[in-house]
């Protein structure tokens, strides 16, 4: 393919008539042409992304709160009978993030040219989650775009609320840890060196606790920069390793194996997966395609691997709930609701309820852990400060008049 060739290469995922999802890379003049070609082959396109585009990392995506406001506005205006192009024009000014405003403006231009909403929103280059775009694409196929917009808005609002609660729960322990660390550095770097010089001039024999304290202060004063560089290098190496697929897998597997933290992490992953699964099913996406969306939304590579294996087994004819339980891909309480939905034919609705239940349980575990962490930090830093104060007071009382 030459440089002047107008054809583009796209990564696609599409559902076959039997429900299986296939993927690959094809060249086409644009998404519309590729969409028509895939449909001509009996496939239902789920996503079409330029092959040279990179999926944004979660921290590079637009905030869930801003996205929730965008899709809530689109759902409200669309429900009131406002044409979609005008609704997108009115909504494009809402986000504070400039890149998101520009992406919505470009999406409106593509919409004006006759493209569908999901196809137009794909120009955001991963800023909008693929699960959200998939819900809209499924809604457009089934002529249920207003319902899909409402479902996308609800899902994003729930994710934004969950993220806000997690951050709120962790805010105080982080501030406490930062304040305690800064206080210790000030004491060891400013107060202790001056106190050591004063006691050295007196020529007194100091108590063991004071000698230990002053020895630590002297070590930090002389070799602290080496320790800081070593710590920074180790941190950089660790971060680099965690950016690799193997490193992320090992980290997530280790976190899932920790008491308390593992159950909490599984709960949050279950909440994201169940909500994505339910949203896609209610938008008309086949089960296997909905499972793919749930895997993408899991936020944990180990859980995603378990969901991939569960999807393979479901494709071979095994029941969904039994497979998810065997792969330990979801929490027990969520599986019970999914079993009810599977047996009653209301799997999409029950998946959304399972997501809410899993989020509530995970938040409860988080509050419990934070409740234990806060007094633990107080005792830790309080004990350190108390040790410093006691060592200094012992030195003062041990001074004898010359």
pLDDT of residue 61: 62
Residue 45 has pLDDT above 80, yes or no: yes
pLDDT of residue 204: 61
pLDDT of residue 128: 79
Mean pLDDT of the 126-135 span: 75
- What are the tens digits of pLDDT across the range 68-124? 888 899 989 988 888 888 888 888 888 887 778 877 887 888 788 788 888 788 766
Mean pLDDT of the 208-219 span: 77
| Of 376 and 52, more confident | 376
Residue 216 has pLDDT above 60, yes or no: yes
3-state helix, strand, coil in the chain (%, to 5): 75, 5, 20
pLDDT of residue 1: 40
Mean pLDDT of the 130-140 span: 77
Residue 352 has pLDDT above 80, yes or no: yes
Q: How many CB atoms lie within 10 A of CB 78?
A: 21
Residue 19 has pLDDT above 60, yes or no: yes
Q: What are phi and psi of 13, to 5 degrees?
A: -130, 135
Alpha-carbon distance of 276 to 299, in angstroms, equals 12
Alpha-carbon distance of 347 to 334, in angstroms, equals 12
pLDDT of residue 316: 92
Residue 374 has pLDDT above 70, yes or no: yes
Residue 62 has pLDDT above 90, yes or no: no
Averaging pLDDT over each range in 23-27, 169-173, 190-194, which range is the top one?
169-173
| Nearest Cα residue to 176 out of 377, 376, 369, 370 | 377
Q: What band does 12 get if pLDDT is binned at 50, 70 and 90? A: confident
Residue 324 has pLDDT above 90, yes or no: yes
Lowest mean pLDDT, pick from 256-265, 301-310, 365-374 = 365-374
Question: The tokens of 7 are what?
Answer: 């054809």
pLDDT of residue 123: 63
pLDDT of residue 389: 79
Mean pLDDT of the 217-237 span: 77
pLDDT of residue 124: 61
Mean pLDDT of the 175-185 span: 81
Q: What band does 142 get if pLDDT is binned at 50, 70 and 90? A: low
Residue 27 has pLDDT above 60, yes or no: no
pLDDT of residue 302: 92
Residue 243 has pLDDT above 80, yes or no: no
Mean pLDDT of the 160-179 span: 83
Mean pLDDT of the 143-147 span: 77
- What are the tens digits of pLDDT across the range 244-277? 888 888 888 998 998 888 999 999 999 989 988 8
Q: What band does 54 get if pLDDT is binned at 50, 70 and 90? A: very low
Q: What band does 202 get if pLDDT is binned at 50, 70 and 90? A: low
Mean pLDDT of the 230-234 span: 83
State the virtual CA torsion across 374, 272, 257, 369 in degrees, nearest 10. 10
The DSSP secondary structure of 270-296, one letter per residue, reads HHHHHHHHHHHHHTT--HHHHHHHHHH
Look over the chain and give the mean of its residue pLDDT values, rounded to a whole number.
80
Are 291 and 314 in contact by the 8 Å Cβ rule? The answer is yes
340 exposed, middle or buried (CB, 10 Å; 0-12, 13-18, 19+)? middle
Question: The tokens of 112 are what?
Answer: 């004006």
Mean pLDDT of the 283-287 span: 83
- What are the tens digits of pLDDT across the range 312-321? 999 999 999 9
What radius of gyration do the chain's Cα atoms show? 28
Q: How many CB atoms lie within 10 A of CB 132?
A: 27
Residue 6 has pLDDT above 80, yes or no: no
| Of 13 and 197, more confident | 13
Per DSSP, 300 falls in state -
């Amino acid at each position: 393919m030459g440089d002047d060739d107008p054809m583009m290469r796209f990564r696609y995922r599409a559902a076959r008539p039997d429900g299986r999802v296939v993927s690959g890379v094809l060249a086409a003049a644009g998404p519309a042409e590729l969409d028509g070609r895939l449909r001509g082959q009996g496939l239902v396109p789920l996503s079409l992304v330029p092959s040279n585009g990179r999926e944004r990392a979660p921290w590079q995506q637009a905030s869930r709160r801003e996205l929730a406001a965008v899709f809530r506005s689109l759902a409200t205006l669309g429900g009131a009978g406002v044409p979609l192009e005008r609704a997108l024009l009115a909504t494009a000014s809402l986000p504070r993030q400039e890149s998101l405003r520009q992406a919505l403006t470009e999406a409106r231009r593509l919409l004006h040219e006759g493209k569908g909403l999901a196809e137009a929103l794909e120009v955001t280059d991963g800023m909008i989650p693929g699960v959200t775009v998939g819900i809209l694409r499924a809604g457009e196929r089934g002529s249920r775009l207003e319902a899909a917009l409402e479902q996308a808005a609800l899902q994003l609002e729930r994710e934004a609320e969950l993220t806000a609660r997690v951050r709120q729960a962790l805010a105080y322990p982080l501030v406490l840890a930062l304040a305690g660390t800064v206080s210790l550095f000030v004491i060891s770097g400013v107060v202790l060196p001056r106190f050591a010089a004063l006691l050295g001039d007196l020529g007194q024999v100091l108590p063991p606790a004071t000698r230990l304290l002053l020895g630590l202060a002297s070590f930090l004063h002389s070799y602290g920069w080496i320790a800081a560089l070593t710590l920074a290098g180790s941190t950089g190496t660790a971060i680099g390793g965690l950016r690799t697929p193997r490193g992320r897998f090992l980290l997530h597997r280790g976190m899932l194996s920790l008491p308390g933290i593992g159950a909490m992490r599984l709960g949050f992953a279950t909440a994201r997966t169940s909500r994505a699964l339910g949203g896609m099913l209610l938008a008309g996406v086949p089960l296997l395609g909905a499972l793919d969306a749930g895997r993408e939304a899991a936020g944990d590579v180990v859980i995603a691997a378990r969901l991939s294996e569960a999807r393979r087994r479901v494709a071979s004819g095994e029941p969904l709930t039994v497979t998810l339980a065997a792969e330990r891909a979801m929490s027990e309480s969520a599986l019970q609701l999914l079993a009810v939905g599977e047996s009653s034919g209301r799997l999409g609705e029950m998946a959304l309820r399972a997501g809410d239940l899993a989020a509530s349980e995970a938040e409860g575990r988080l509050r419990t852990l934070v409740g234990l962490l806060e007094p633990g930090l107080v005792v830790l830093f309080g004990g350190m400060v108390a040790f410093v104060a006691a060592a200094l007071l012992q030195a003062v009382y041990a001074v004898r008049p010359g």
